[in-house]
Amino acid sequence: MSRLERTIGLVLRVGVTASTVALAAGLVLEFMSAPGARWLLHAGVLTLLATPVARVTVSIAGYIRERDWTFATLTAIVLVELLASAVAALVFNKRL
């Protein structure tokens, strides 16, 4: 297994585990109407959304290290597309 593959596997595993724990804890607090529930739930969702972004970022770094410029560029385009969707969300937010 290549170094990049191992790193990607690790990023995905850590991201999913962290967000699942946060979401589960947040849901339990929500049922008890305890403070901090909202914060934990948002943190869990954001961690989940950040996981693929982190995976793409790690891939760019990996391809640069391997001097694979074609794939470094392609992966960078994917990252730009993900950032563009965040920008699109902000634009809609202003207008609505």
Partner 1 sequence: MIFAAGAVSGGFGALLGIGGGVLLVPFLNLVLHLPFTVAAAISLTTVIATSSSVSAARTGKQLINMRLGMLLEVATAGGSLFGGVTAQLLAQSTVQKIFGVVTAIVAVIMLTRLQRRNVILDPTIDPGVLGGRYHEEESGGTVTYRVKRLPLALVASFVAGNMSSLLGIGGGFIKVPVLNAWCGIPVRAAAATSAFMIGVTATAGAVIYYGIGQLVPALAAAAVLGVQLGSWGGMRFGQRASAKWLKLLMAAVLFAVSAVMFIRGIR
Residue 64 near partner 1 by CB under 8 A:
no
**Residue in 3, 16, 34, 69 binding partner 1, rule: CB under 8 A:** 16
What is the per-residue binding string for partner 1 in 22-51, x denoting contact by CB under 8 A? -xx-xx--x------xx--xx-xxx-xx-x
Pairwise CA distance, residues 50 & 5, whole Å: 18
Listed in sequence order, the DSSP H helices in 3-68 are: 3-31, 37-65
Residue type (1 letter), 69 = W
User: What does each C-alpha distance from 56 to 23, 35, 91 come to in angstroms?
Assistant: 23, 34, 24
> How many other C-beta atoms are found inside a 10 Å radius of the C-beta of residue 87?
9
Can you give the binding site for partner 1, defined by CB under 8 A?
1, 4-6, 8-10, 12-13, 15-16, 19-20, 23-24, 26-27, 30, 37-38, 41-42, 44-46, 48-49, 51-53, 55-56, 59, 71, 74-75, 77-78, 81-82, 84-86, 88-90, 92-93, 96
